A and B are shown apart, each in its own frame.
Chain A
């Protein structure tokens, strides 16, 4: 079974802190994604990566950065957390290339910034 794990289920941080959210997948997938999910707004893509050290901006990259040093690990970084970044963060992975591959999601991290 594909497994995508996220470092924390719940996280509480203070405004201005640097926050790292880690995601690891064990299926050798090329593509990895970070989303945030908010009530009424649905799932929105923050960043994605199709290879090690490669990254692409999604729909809402402002205030975030990412790092992919190893194929199995994709990190989301909030350089200076703000209250409007309180959200559920979901990581996903999929096979790469030009196929129509489904995405496998982690359990999510509920981040609260106070």
Chain B
């Protein structure tokens, strides 16, 4: 069955550095992948979507890549700020395309 792995449970970086989060998938090839941000005690909020024919997508300080050969998506936050501290979830669709499968998330902490 399809499997989604976000390699790090936690990532600690200093303000101003670039944070890179990894999402790997196995046993299938999703047509797209979404990234969400979740703050403690709140529901996830959609950030970006990248399709399989797009190598890279940007939105302000966020950048997402999608490597269908490596079966991996990378999520980058450049010039990180303490306000970027949150849990980030990757979510490709299931094999049927009817729902999203969420990774367990990576909790990013940015210290000033």
Contacts and interface: CB of A to CB of B under 8 A. Distances in A.
Interface of B (DSSP majority class): loop
Given A42-B103, A43-B89, A106 B34 contact: no
Interface residues of A, number: 24
B99 A48 contact: yes
A35 B31 CA distance: 22
B99 A40 contact: no
Interface of A (DSSP majority class): strand
Interface stretch (A14-22, A63-71, A73-81, A95-103): A95-103
Interface residues of B, number: 22
B98 A108 contact: no
24 contacts: A4-B43, A33-B99, A42-B89, A42-B103, A42-B104, A42-B105, A44-B102, A45-B99, A45-B100, A45-B101, A48-B98, A50-B98, A58-B99, A90-B43, A90-B44, A100-B51, A100-B93, A102-B34, A103-B44, A103-B46, A105-B44, A105-B45, A107-B41, A107-B42
B104 A41 contact: yes
A105 B43 CA distance: 5
Contact of B49 (A33, A56, A100, A104): A100
